[in-house]
Chain A
Amino acid sequence: MSGTAAALDRTVARVLRWGIGASIALLAIGVALMVVEGVDPLGPPPPAFDPADIVPGILALDPLPFLWLGLIIAIATPSLRVLASLVGFTRTGQRRMVLVSLGILVVIALSVALSSGAA
């Protein structure tokens, strides 16, 4: 394995570790707050996700924004990993892998575009 490939592996691994670490930390805080507030997970469904509620909710120590944020980071982490790979492949001039990375990001963008507003 070449030095650049090994370096890219390490960079991508770091992105995954930090992303999942942050996600689990936020989810754990959310769960702890759920326990404190006595939230029943099988009770009525929570209000739909609204980005505007995140910061005020976190400041109010409401469990829901912590959980939303943790879930979003978890779902976004693999895409961030692809983004990190894209940068690495671009720097090392691996054009075909750049195209592959872009293709994956296009599929992810399509997931967002085709699902937005469908709730």
Chain B
Amino acid sequence: MSWFARLKSRLSKSSGKIHRGLVSFVTGGVLDEAGRQELEDTLIAADFGVTQAAALSLAVAKRHRGQDVSPETLTQSLRDVLTDTLSVHARPLVVPAVSGPAVFFLVGVNGNGKTTSAGKLAAYFQGLGVRVALVAADTFRAAAVDQLRVWAQRAGVPLYEGKDKQDPASLVYESYARAKAEGIQLMLVDTAGRLHTKQDLMESLGKMVRVMKKQDDTAPHEVILVLDATTGQAAHTQAKLFKDHAGITGLIVTKLDGTARGGVVVALSSDYALPVFMIGVGESLEDLQPFDPKEYAEALI
């Protein structure tokens, strides 16, 4: 089964709802204000947030002002509007051509799937023929290193780990030199989960980024915020503060295999100019896949 088919089947429960809903919005062939508000509510229920849901539903309504529309046309319109919004900042996650190893950081709050994503991402790039190393920079959470070690074995890539309670910034610094010596092309750094509201922890993340720049001032080449699809509107401050402190460059959305639709990423993408790089749709190693706005829109609606 292709990931798209899988995503579609996973989202089918919700997608059915949005699609069915669209039929009932159209009264007498015209999308009136009541219908538009229904549409807005449906999007809110998918975590788009009040502002984004209003903007998208208004954009759809504007396309069909005063015209007769069928539910099919409306469905297509909504998909188009959504695809357009997500495409503005879309770009694929690729390993840049740099002299030393490229460096990607995975950051985010606790429990959103950073370590799992790091493992899957390692397997993904390894599969593309890139020489990858994983860096276990989560020296805080109990057994986090053990967890990543298992993923490194599954993906067949080396794991760089520090001494117990070693400062993650110093580990990252050492790891870069090691990666360079060992001819690694991509260094994936799994950082400790931290709440964006914890000032000191956010500053220590900023320190890791600064230390990296001492080795290579273009590094880290990507700082990826891993976001749990079940997250609601608190994702806004998450994105803002991780951008402020660590300069995030894109998103990975995990746990899209549940019933959560992750609508908040649409607002995040446009508000903070962030591409969605990858999405997680399952538990196995290959269930992290590149994100395609059009396919996402089709699976969702």
Co-complex (A, B)? no
